[in-house]
A = this chain, B = another copy of it.
Amino acid sequence: MLFHVRMDVHLPRDLPAGERDAILAREKAYSQELQRSGEWRHIWRIAGAYANVSIFDVADNARLHEILSGLPLFPFMTIAVMPLLRHPSAIRDDDT
């Protein structure tokens, strides 16, 4: 089941550089593991912003929340979620 998620990151200025780098490294590993497993299907950077648009393919709402609330950057993010479904004009098999 597909979800559209936009994440905007706001790192506080007083976050120590070491802590920040550790969080970002964990975030990247976390994201790539979920991309490899297929649940985080797409991720794109939005030009000019510290933000991304992602497509998730998960079993249900609970799993989506588990993934999002487990993001190392979760405390520093504004997140917007929209449930998606196959469009009647879609032709790609994997737009479902």
Contacts and interface: CB of A to CB of B under 8 A. Distances in A.
B35 A82 contact: no
Given A12-B13, A53-B4, A60-B1, A44 B92 contact: no
A22 interface: no
Contacts of A5: 48
Q: How many copies of this chain?
A: 10
A2 B65 CA distance: 13
A68 to B, nearest CB: 5
B95 A44 contact: yes
Contacts of A91: 32, 35-36
Interface in A1-38: 1-5, 12-13, 27-28, 31-32, 35-36
